[in-house]
Amino acid sequence: MAAVAHSFGKSIDVYDHDIHLRTLRTLWYPTSLTFMQNLSGQGECSTLALTEGCQLSIWDLRMRENGGCVHRIFGSVGDILYSVCESSNGSIAVGGADRTVSVYDPRRWSTVSRWMNCSKYEITRLAFSSFDSDYIYVQGVDYEVVCGHWSDGKKGFSFRGDSNWLGFNKCCDRDLVGGWCDSGSLFLADVILSSKEEDREE
């Protein structure tokens, strides 16, 4: 299953292979989305987490009431959210213009933690570590990616490109992260555990 966001059209198109299943209508311009595959523990893809404006919205593709939207969490007015990601235990993290990573428990939709000012600039990409979901990778609009312990608000390590990041992603089952810079350069970092579990090496 796949979903495509149309920012200016304020809509999400959901597909099963090449079959269009439905269109979701958002209130604000969508910026990032992810299927919540770990919420039920069965790897199902019927729930979609979406950032739109300063909100995190949750959509159940099986529901028709309210257009499929089952929950909304409002952030700071005017601070747009640009990224959402899910951890292996189902936690949801969002980040954006306020330079804060907010982590939510999807069972109660309560805030678990906020890692404030973890990036120098607006956050545009997030990814939980595959080694330990208490760690998260944070990419800002500059040339630095930070990995840190989100519940303690402690930075573990960081690495940089040679210019501002245009894109950044992480493998789903390992801490192999890659980024594309404004200079045209591609950077890869293979993060491994050292002899001490809490330490990480690049």
The pLDDT tens digits for 147-166 are: 999 999 999 999 899 999 99
pLDDT at 43: 55
**Antiparallel, parallel or unpaired: β 69-74 and 81-86:** unpaired
pLDDT at 45: 78
Say if residues 68 and 92 touch (Cβ distance below 8 Å): no
3-state class (DSSP) for residue 118: coil
pLDDT at 46: 87
pLDDT at 198: 46
Cα–Cα distance measured from residue 58 to residue 108, given in angstroms and rounded to the nearest whole number: 13
Per DSSP, 66 falls in state: G
pLDDT at 128: 97
Domains of the chain, by residue range, sit at 2-162
pLDDT at 76: 80
pLDDT at 197: 47
Tell me the residue type at 162: D
Look at the domain 2-162 and name its fold: Methylamine Dehydrogenase; Chain H (2.130.10)
**Which bin fits 70, alpha (ψ -120 to 50), beta or left (φ > 0)?**
alpha
Residue with tokens 């890869």: 188
Per DSSP, 192 falls in state: E
pLDDT at 38: 62
pLDDT at 40: 55
Q: Which residues pair with 81 in a beta bridge?
A: 96
Burial degree of 23 (CB within 10 A; 0-12, 13-18, 19+): middle
Q: Which residues of the chain have pLDDT under 50?
A: 196-199, 201-202
Token output for 40: 């039920």
Cα-Cα-Cα-Cα dihedral sign, residues 176, 41, 112, 132: negative
Say if residues 61 and 49 touch (Cβ distance below 8 Å): no
Alpha helices, H only, 76-165: none
Cα–Cα distance measured from residue 22 to residue 13, given in angstroms and rounded to the nearest whole number: 6
The edge-to-edge listing of strands for the beta sheet with 176-181 is 165-170, 176-181, 186-190
pLDDT at 37: 80
